[in-house]
Structure 1
């Protein structure tokens, strides 16, 4: 999202993507067209009422027509907005899920851009709201509704219809010029928003370092400068939007004025030239009442035109997202096979693992031993889809494997905790687990003493730092979470690191019990933990 210039093919791709993303039938369009027909009926009621006041018939039928058509217009407009909002909500939910899925299943080894993720999941998704809810129905209605108004006007006065049509062409030219400027301004604003989001997220994440080096004032000023740049670009977008609105209002007012002058002078017989039609009071007021309605659909479109520019800019961030294809699930403990595997992280000079080959039989427990940097963690990350497979093949049950994510219980070196209760942290692995299953894994992981010391037990709140949990308790919590997941694979990364001898012995017994019946890989430095494995694979020293 660093480029601003967009060529015609890119614009067509954006429009095609937006059209496909919106999908479905646009029921709001039909309501907007019904609103236009009701407007024609309303204009007829006005013309008839004026003629009745002038002594040309009864007033009450025309008054009823005006009231009825006015009420219908309000109803159609309300329903159109409601249907557009419902449709936009469905589109936003779909795209937000797509953004989250793409970020979770991004290319292995690729770091996540937190600023871009925030921009995509929040700002870019919300930018689709106005496009789907307002712009799309308004654009289609603007192509049909003026023709209906023009046809109705021509029935009363074809000269008035010609006047309305003549003012349309310069208006369209002005809108095209303003629209191009608005597109560039909107893209620049979106780039500035992404830059500000990324910088702010990065500085919040690195706040301890910023405070340690007393750089808070400097970083605050830098963020302020970026925010000012965003504000200037936002004002530029608004200036262009006001310019297009001014062009619309000018030509709309001009069309009404010209029709009013023509109808008035025609009724008075003061036209300086002959016209091949004779206007009556009823037809003159009908044409005059319809004149504002000719530009009403385009006024609605112009009000939503900025939504189109925002949506096209947002499409730039959505189009590169690749749909995630899940690996076929393995429902039973299956053998794992790695042949000539190389793991080379982007930006690294040397591979983390090179030419590694080994197999793990179904239900077997294998320990990976080796010094720090030998690739033990990288092998587990490869199986979870978190590390890139640069060369070689990985299979599970004889089927090529992309990732065991969702099919393996996982305990990392630094167990993830969320700001929630202990129960909610456990249920991350299996949201549908019942109370009996939770109590069983809590007992198996040896969490009883810890829960007994907390007043809330399983419902005790935790923060992301563990709220006072020791390193061993955090690992036991992560192990209980892995046990709660009835997956055929179990992957453990240094589960007993930094524990005292007593805690390590107790946790090893729990791991030995948990590994029964599962295909298990354990990365460890501990000979005591490796002793429970059916086989030990020694990895070489770091390259």
Structure 2
């Protein structure tokens, strides 16, 4: 048996990986944003020299004022080009992610309110990250340093002041971003809960009306709406507070430069400095001072785009992207060992405590016991649906760890098999989409599903009786080529005649596999090689 280790998952890593296919437009957008520094310096130089020359002669000042005007025009064109490239980048990434989500949603039948929210709100949250935040991130790192270097040509002292005051500005951004990150995640989770709740209640509207539960449902939606409103308000408060802090540091820095340049021009500085400014140099530095913080202020304004995108990432990941550990068992039935296994949910008392159980290869083990004894939880543990609180599980001699995926190696028949809209044959084929129609038909017939396999079935299972739903789960288990078989109450709520007819199907499904069956039925337990009471 071999195992493939998973790649570590992080929202930032997923965003970087997703945008890798559009690296060139991303770099172009970032380059256009950084190039904004050149016309900013040109405008400051043209304005400063124009004012300095204007007292001597308006004609001498005209070329410099023309340079300032041309710099403004160039800056506008560069800004427009950067926005356009960023917008195209955002649309391209959103289209790709939305296509993957729609394939997962409709092509594989994973329909839920949360997935619908991800397709709409989650994908839109990516737009600001790729269109605005990604280009601004590079500009915020380079542009202030380039502008300070230009200012140092005219006034090294002013450049030192700008560099010194840049530190608290950056620190304020980091603190604000850290505070906003958690609130953004909680806001998106609240939005997901509200959307999922609303979709589920609309689907169940006939039942809600039939049982007179409209007041209760209204109260649930009101509570979820109030939670979303509360989370959104907290995000906005943090955004406004952080904006005020950054504006304060920016204004303070510009004020320090203005005071220094003014006192230097008047020769009233109370301490010696290694430079003497004239009007042109002082005006040049004053014009550049606000530009030092402009890229950082724009990044701060777009920082919530990053937080929103990272908060949406968990909902945007499809199962194929999580890349869990995959165990390859082969065709031979493996042994299964439970070593002092305990299962507890959310800090409650363990439903299973210190279980030791050895299941030999190919053995059929029936798990019996009262309701709540942990039979289903033990099966769910192998499927990764129950938490392993203590102990260990070994499959074929290999100990399972966190993130292990056994789904491809387990045939599973639950008490209520999932049904998707489509034909009966399509529902059987969910266990193995690569199976040919002949194998699907054979599995259905062996499981006792008679009649037209192409008859339509809705997502609620309309068109199937309770017994046929049980047989549907067994048909899937028989179709799937897996060395482990798990059955959860395969004959529950069936009459004695139907149960007897089901026993041969269970025996056929378990042939050549290591099988665990959770059951209350003495007849099903009689099929087992071993009965374990929990």
TM-score range, shorter chain: 0.5 to 0.7
Report the equivalent of 2:464: 469
In the TM superposition, what are the counterparts of 1:110-121 in structure 2 within 5 Å?
none
Cα deviation digits, residues 85-140 of structure 1 (max 9, x gap): 8789999999xxxxxxxxxxxxxxxxxxx999999999899878756764465344
Could you tell me how far 1:240 is from its partner in structure 2? 1.4
Unaligned residue ranges in structure 2 (runs of 5+): 1-9, 101-111, 269-274, 316-321
Contact 1:131 1:308 in 2 (8 A): yes
Q: Does 1:479 align with 2:480?
A: no
Aligned partner of residue 379 in structure 2, secondary structure: helix
Q: Distance in 1 between matches of 2:254 and 2:278?
A: 25
Counterpart of 1:54 (choices 55, 59, 73) is 59
Q: Distance in 2 between matches of 1:470 and 1:527?
A: 24
Q: Which residue in the other structure is 1:368 paired with?
A: 366
**Pairwise mapping of residues 368-407 of structure 1 onto structure 2 (< 5 A)?**
368=366, 370-373=368-371, 376-387=375-386, 394-400=393-399, 404-407=406-409
Matches within 5 A, 1:244-283: 244=245, 246-247=247-248, 250=251, 272=266, 276=276
- Does the aligned pair in 1 maintain the 2:359–2:365 contact within 8 Å? no
1:194-233, aligned counterparts within 5 Å?
Answer: 194=189, 215-216=216-217, 218-219=219-220, 222-223=223-224, 225-233=226-234
- Aligned pairs for 1:48-447 (under 5 A) are 54=59, 71-72=77-78, 74-76=80-82, 78-79=84-85, 134-135=132-133, 137-155=135-153, 158-159=154-155, 166=161, 173=168, 176=171, 180=175, 183-184=178-179, 187=182, 191=186, 194=189, 215-216=216-217, 218-219=219-220, 222-223=223-224, 225-244=226-245, 246-247=247-248, 250=251, 272=266, 276=276, 293-307=291-305, 326=325, 328-338=327-337, 342-346=341-345, 349=349, 352=352, 355-362=355-362, 364=363, 366-368=364-366, 370-373=368-371, 376-387=375-386, 394-400=393-399, 404-418=406-420, 422-447=424-449
For residues 389 and 180 of structure 2, what CA distance do their matches in structure 1 show?
Answer: 41
Q: Deviations over 1:342-362 (max 9, x none)?
A: 544345646547655443333
Aligned-residue offset at 1:200: 8.4
Q: C-alpha separation between the residues in 1 aligned to 2:298 and 2:510?
A: 65
Question: In structure 2, what is the equivalent of residue 449 of structure 1?
Answer: 451
> Partner of 1:372: helix, strand, or coil?
coil
Cα deviation, 1:402-421, whole Å, max 9, x if unaligned, reads 67432121111222334565
Task: Say if 1:40 and 1:290, in contact at 8 Å, map to a contact too.
Answer: no
CA RMSD across the alignment: 5.7
**Contact persistence 1:491–1:521 (CA under 8 A):** yes
TM-score, normalised to structure 2, is 0.65
Q: Displacement of 1:70 after TM fit?
A: 5.8
State the distance in 2 between where 1:63 and 1:214 align.
65
* Secondary structure of 2:325 counterpart: coil
Report how many residues are paired. Answer: 480
CA distance in 1, matches of 2:40, 2:520: 84
Q: Distance in 1 between matches of 2:16 and 2:228?
A: 36
TM-score by length of 1: 0.64
The Cα shift of 1:431 comes to 3.1
Change (3 A) 1:418 1:308: same
In structure 2, C-alpha distance between the alignment counterparts of 1:65 and 1:181, rounded to whole Å:
33
1:539 and 2:532 are equivalent in the alignment:
yes
Q: Is the 8 A contact 2:467 2:494 kept in 1?
A: yes
CA gap 1:448/1:163 in 2 versus in 1, 3 angstroms: same
CA change 1:171–1:69 in 2 (3 A) is closer
Is the contact made by 1:127 and 1:311 (CA closer than 8 Å) also made in structure 2? yes
Name structure 1 gaps, 5 residues minimum: 1-16, 95-113, 318-322, 452-456
Cα distance in 2, alignment partners of residues 235 and 58 from structure 1: 44
* Deviation readout 1:143-173 (Å, 9 max, x if unpaired): 3212322333555xx14x7557646755764
Q: What is the CA–CA distance in structure 1 between the aligned matches of 2:358 and 2:131, rounded to whole Å?
A: 55
Q: Structure 1's 93 and 254: CA in aligned 2 closer, same or farther, altered over 3 A?
A: farther
CA distance in 2, matches of 1:224, 1:59: 56
Deviation at 1:380, TM superposition (A): 3.2
